[in-house]
Amino acid sequence: NNAHAGIKITTHGSDWYWAVTAIMMVSTIVFAGMAYTKPRQHRIFHYITAAITMVASIAYFSMASGLGWTGIAVEFQRSDPKVFGLYREIFYVRYIDWVITTPLLLMDLLLTAGLPWPTIMYTILIDEIMIVTGLAGALVRTSYKWGYFAFGCMALAFIVYVLVWEARLHANAMGRDIGRTFLICGSWTALLWCLYPIAWGVSEGGNVIAPDSEAVFYGVLDVMAKPVFGALLIWGHRNIDPAALGL
Ligand code: RET
């Protein structure tokens, strides 16, 4: 019977994770390679962005290999008393990726906006609270998980406020090219990041979609939020002098 059965990714899910691993690796090589076409003082955003996709490559390599997860008991079919002890695969390795890469993404953005160090530091602190509460909620089996989720959403609301308000105004005051680049990359980020709690809610949270669908949902978001974001950001910096940002 289904006792102690697992709800896990199939070979399709694994193939997709390998595809995203390849996208992240190629992006890393391209971003790092492009750094060497620039003078030393103009490489900071290439390095930060390449570090982001490099860390994601390792996380996706882990998930594609069927590693970096733990089983969390879920009530899958209440109507069928024979089904008990059903476990869903929760990839905790995502959160190890995010706790490193989301602060780097915020550095890319907030350095572009020219914000002072203290603002960058406390925004990153709130971001770490968001990721850690997401991990805690994912690993909790009872409905207390939604308490952690609520704390995480409050943290995200604060980050979105900094992006669409404080940082946007600061970037605009720094000039046209900086304002435009921040508007594109900041809006892209604010929009995409708001979709992560939805993916979480139907995966780790509510166990609504299958792990293969979870792979597609998070995978598409991660490709948009890292390689596509990185390309937009580096493109935007082609006419920005890092000295204008105090870098
Ligand atoms: C969680 C669950 C708790 C509530 C919220 C979340 C938001 C996560 C976000 C993750 C962003 C990840 C990125 C990864 C890069 O590829 C932790 C899912 C609000 C915004 C950008």
pLDDT digits (tens, 9 = 90+) for 119-163: 999 999 999 999 999 999 999 988 899 999 999 999 999 999 999
Atom 6 of ligand 1 has which residue's CA nearest to it? 197
Contacts of 101 (CB under 8 A, 6+ apart): 52, 55, 56, 226
Strand-pair category, 86-90 with 6-7: parallel
Question: Is the dihedral angle over the CA atoms 167, 168, 173, 177 positive or is it negative?
Answer: positive
What are the phi and psi torsion angles at 86 (to 5°)? Answer: -90, 135
* pLDDT for residue 95 is more than 50: yes
Q: Is 133 exposed, middle or buried (0-12, 13-18, 19+ CB in 10 A)?
A: buried
Please give the span between the terminal C-alpha atoms of the chain, in angstroms, as a whole number: 62
Which pLDDT score, from 0 to 100, does residue 151 have?
98
Sheet holding 6-7, edge to edge: 6-7, 86-90, 70-74
What does the pLDDT average to over 84-93?
87
Instruction: Show the tokens assigned to 173.
Output: 């005051």
> Tokens 């996208």 belong to which residue?
23
Residue 34 three-state SS: helix
* Cβ of 134 below 6 Å from ligand 1: yes
Q: How far is the CA of 223 from the centre of ligand 1 (A)?
A: 14
Least confident of 84-88, 117-121, 123-127, 188-192: 84-88
- The residue type found at 200 is W
pLDDT number for residue 86? 82
Q: Is the CB of 196 under 6 A from ligand 1?
A: yes
Q: Which of 127, 144, 200, 202 to mutate to test the pocket of ligand 1 (most atoms within 8 A of CB)?
A: 200
pLDDT given for residue 213 in this prediction: 96
pTM as predicted = 0.94
Going from the Cα of 218 to the center of ligand 1, the distance in angstroms, rounded, reads 10
Q: Is the CB of 88 under 6 A from ligand 1?
A: no
Averaged pLDDT for residues 157-176: 98
Which atom of ligand 1 is least distant from the CA of 101? 15
Residue having the nearest C-alpha atom to atom 2 of ligand 1: 134
User: What's the Cα-to-Cα distance from 183 to each of 62, 107, 191, 212, rounded to whole Å?
Assistant: 34, 15, 12, 34
Check if 101 has its Cβ closer than 6 Å to any atom of ligand 1: yes
**17 ligand 1 Cβ < 6 A:** no
Indicate if ligand 1 lies below 6 Å from the C-beta of 16. Answer: no
Report ipTM for this prediction: 0.97
